[in-house]
């Protein structure tokens, strides 16, 4: 006997009764609803393998039901029924994702065959997706290199949670690969064929944050010359990755919380809510519990996002992975740059293994790229490495000794901060966004401290 859950949507009682008897005889589990409005209510709380819906119904028609089905569960098969054959409506229904279009009056055998075919195609598609996921898991996660115990635990967590719709919070220092983890979760999940949208919240001006996330309507504020969808709508059906989550202003955090709870958004200047199906993955390089305690991140939003936490260890705590990463980057960057580089000398590798890597994997990749571009020969030697790797770390120059006469703590901390700001700017070649990453700051925080440093220099020069 066939198996499957079918929702029948029709405003005619006699048609519902005929379909109920016919489909139950075939072994299907059948739910009947009187019209499109009732269908929308049922779809909010239940899932079905197939929806069989009339096209012409008052208030909410079959095309609206079809759209609602595809918004909530894109894999659900939909078959349309109508007594008014129309090429235009048939084409529109197929464009919206309907499996087939049956004209009333119809032969029951014809309808049975159409439903069986729709359910078989759905089953085969799900089976193919399952086999593809299994093959990907056997081959390992793309773009990830590591054999250390902590990274193997991260890989296993990604595989376990990928099929879940639950929100994820990724923490770790700058450069540890948080966006790569988010991408891996998305590509391992059933949402892989839908959009993956990434946004750095620290790079969006506060006044534009709400519009960027939720969109706006034309004329809602100065400069809003046309309607804009926003990132939530762009990620509909897929995954939205919010990096530097603590940079979202408090007022927008409230609206983000509502979007998570209601699964709907409202564009700036609009009066209507728009349903969205988005899996949220957030990330931060900060310790989030102090951020919650300080009121930087709303506690209720934190717990909504922190359903599944993943912490990425810094590179200095996974030194076993450095030789693998070095070899991976040499192969990748030699291919990209066209240089014939095949390996690294033991002495140069030893220096890389001992470095603290404050910029983590991103800093290591940059160091390998510079060495390949500036070096000569097929092997990287010490003389090809960036000079800063051959000097003691800045952090080792900070003393914790208290002189016999004591010290001015605030002045000492200010002096250390100023030295580190200048050192970060020097190392980054004056690129402020990179300098901010080296100091584990958002660009906004770094710019503020840099302004303070400029004011202090100006005062001393007077």
For the record, the structure tokens of 78 come out as 């939909």
**Would you state the pLDDT for residue 146?**
80
Domain assignment present for 368: yes
Mean pLDDT across 68-92: 80
Give me the pLDDT at residue 292, please: 94
Examine the domain organization and report whether 198 and 276 are in the same domain. yes
pLDDT given at position 461: 46
Judgement on whether residues 44 and 83 belong to the same structural domain of the protein = yes
220 and 286 inside one domain: yes
Percentage of the chain exceeding pLDDT 70: 89
Structural domain includes residue 136: no
Q: What is the CATH number of the domain that holds 449?
A: 1.10.10.60
pLDDT digits (tens, 9 = 90+) for 341-364: 989 998 888 889 888 898 899 999
270 and 374, same domain (yes or no): no
- Whether residues 293 and 153 share a domain: the answer is yes
- The tens digit of pLDDT for each residue in 185-212 reads 998 898 988 999 999 998 888 888 998 8
Q: Which two tokens stand for residue 56?
A: 């012409």
Question: Beta-carbon neighbour count of residue 281 at 10 Å?
Answer: 28
Indicate if the pLDDT at residue 142 is higher than 70.
no
Mean pLDDT in residue range 41-58: 90
One domain, residues 349 and 281: no
Whole-number Å distance between alpha carbons of 460 and 175: 36
Q: Which residue has the tokens 């929702």?
A: 7
Mean residue pLDDT of the chain comes to 85
Q: 104, 130, 156 — which closes off a domain?
A: 130
Residue 360 domain-assigned (yes or no): yes
Position 171 pLDDT exceeds 60: yes
Answer yes or no: do 197 and 282 share one domain. yes
Q: What is the mean pLDDT of residues 158-169?
A: 92
Q: How far apart are the C-alpha atoms of 314 and 322, rounded to whole Å? A: 11
Domain co-membership, 273 together with 348: no
Residue finishing a domain among 295, 313, 331: 313
More confident residue, 458 or 304: 304
Q: Note the pLDDT of residue 1.
A: 47
Largest interatomic CA distance in the chain: 99
Q: How far is CA 201 from CA 104, 153, 186, 190, 443, in A?
A: 53, 28, 19, 26, 10
Instruction: Judge if 99 and 149 occupy the same domain.
Output: no
The residue with greater pLDDT, 39 or 96, is 39
**CA 249, CA 247: separation in Å to the nearest integer?**
6
> Is 92 a member of any domain?
yes
Q: Which pLDDT score, from 0 to 100, does residue 75 have?
A: 84
pLDDT score recorded for residue 143? 63
Could you tell me if residue 290 is inside a domain? Answer: yes
- 32 and 54 share one domain: yes
Same domain, 276 and 193: yes
* Alpha-carbon span 459 to 267, nearest angstrom: 46
pLDDT tens-digit readout, 268-285:
888 888 888 999 999 999
Q: Specify whether the CB–CB gap between 430 and 415 falls below 8 A.
A: no
Q: Are strands 5-9 and 29-33 parallel, antiparallel or unpaired?
A: parallel
Give the best-scoring range by mean pLDDT among 103-112, 222-231, 251-260: 251-260
**pLDDT tens readout for residues 388-432:** 787 654 444 454 567 667 777 787 788 788 888 887 887 777 888
- Give the count of domains, the chain: 4
Domain membership flag for residue 359: yes
Instruction: Say what the pLDDT of residue 145 is.
Output: 79
pTM of the model: 0.59
pLDDT of amino acid 313: 92
Does position 123 have pLDDT exceeding 90, yes or no? Answer: no
CATH classification of the domain holding 74: 3.40.50.2300
What's the mean pLDDT in 70-80? 87
pLDDT at 255: 93
Residue 452 within a domain: yes
Structure token pair of residue 342: 């095949």
Residue 158 sits in a domain of what CATH number?
3.40.50.300
**For residues 178 and 173, what is the distance between their CA atoms, to the nearest angstrom?**
9
pLDDT greater than 70 at residue 338: yes
Do 112 and 178 lie in one domain? The reply is: no
Residue 49 has pLDDT above 80, yes or no: yes
Domain final residue pick, 391, 408, 436: 391
Q: Using the predicted structure, report yes or no on whether residue 258 has a pLDDT greater than 50.
A: yes
Angle between helices 87-95 and 62-72 (to 10 degrees): 10
* Poorest-pLDDT segment among 200-214, 217-231, 363-377: 217-231
Select the highest-mean-pLDDT range: 83-97, 244-258, 419-433. Answer: 244-258
CA distances from 100 to 32, 105, 116 (A): 20, 15, 12
Under the banding of pLDDT at 50, 70 and 90, the label for residue 2 is low
In the predicted model, is pLDDT for residue 219 greater than 90?
no
Residue 135 covered by a domain = no
pLDDT value of position 135: 53
DSSP one-letter string for 286-316: S-HHHHHHTTSS-HHHHHHHTTEEEEPPPGG
Whichever domain contains 348, its CATH number is: 1.10.8.60
Section 39-60 average pLDDT: 90
- For residues 133 and 180, the model is more confident at 180
At residue 84, the pLDDT reads 67
Residue 283 phi, psi (nearest 5): -150, 155
For residue 248, give its domain range: 141-313
């Amino acid at each position: 006997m066939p198996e499957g859950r079918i929702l029948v949507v029709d405003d005619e009682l006699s048609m519902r009764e005929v379909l109920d008897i016919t489909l139950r005889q075939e072994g299907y589990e059948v739910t009947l609803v009187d019209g499109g409005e009732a269908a929308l209510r049922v779809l909010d709380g239940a899932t079905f393998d197939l929806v069989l819906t009339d096209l012409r119904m008052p208030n909410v028609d079959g095309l609206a039901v079809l759209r609602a089905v595809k918004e909530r569960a894109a894999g659900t098969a939909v078959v349309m029924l109508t007594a008014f054959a129309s090429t235009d409506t048939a084409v529109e229904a197929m464009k919206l994702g309907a499996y087939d279009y049956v004209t009333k009056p119809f032969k029951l055998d014809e309808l049975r065959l159409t439903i069986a075919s729709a359910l078989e195609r759905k089953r085969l598609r799900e089976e193919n997706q399952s086999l593809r996921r299994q093959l990907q898991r056997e081959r390992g996660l793309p773009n990830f290199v590591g054999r250390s115990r902590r990274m193997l635990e991260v890989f296993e967590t990604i595989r376990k949670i990928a099929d879940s719709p639950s929100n994820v919070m990724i923490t770790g220092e700058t450069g540890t690969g948080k966006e790569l983890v988010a991408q891996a979760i998305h590509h391992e999940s059933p949402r892989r064929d839908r959009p993956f949208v990434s946004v750095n919240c620290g790079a969006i001006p506060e006044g534009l944050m709400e519009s960027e996330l939720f969109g706006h309507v034309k004329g809602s504020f100065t400069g809003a010359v046309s309607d804009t969808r926003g990132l939530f709508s762009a990620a509909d059906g897929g995954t939205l990755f919010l990096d530097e989550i603590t940079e979202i202003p408090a007022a927008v955090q409230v609206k983000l919380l509502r979007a998570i709870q209601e699964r709907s958004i409202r564009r700036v200047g609009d009066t209507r809510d728009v349903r969205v199906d988005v899996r949220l993955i957030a990330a931060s390089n900060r310790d989030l519990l102090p951020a919650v305690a300080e009121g930087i991140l709303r506690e209720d939003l934190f717990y909504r996002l922190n359903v599944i936490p993943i912490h990425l260890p810094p590179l200095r705590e996974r030194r076993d992975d450095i030789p693998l990463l070095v070899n991976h980057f040499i192969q990748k960057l030699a291919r990209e740059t066209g240089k014939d580089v095949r390996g690294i000398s033991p002495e140069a590798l030893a220096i890389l293994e001992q470095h603290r890597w404050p910029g983590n994997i991103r800093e290591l990749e940059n160091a390998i790229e510079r060495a390949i571009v500036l070096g000569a020969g097929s092997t990287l030697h010490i003389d090809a490495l960036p000079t800063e790797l051959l000097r003691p770390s800045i952090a080792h120059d900070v003393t914790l000794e208290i002189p016999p006469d004591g010290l001015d703590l605030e002045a000492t901390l200010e002096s250390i901060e100023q030295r580190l700001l200048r050192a970060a700017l020097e190392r980054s070649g004056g690129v402020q966004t990179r300098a901010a990453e080296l100091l584990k700051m958002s660009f906004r925080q770094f710019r503020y401290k840099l302004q303070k440093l400029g004011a202090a220099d100006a005062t001393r020069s007077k």
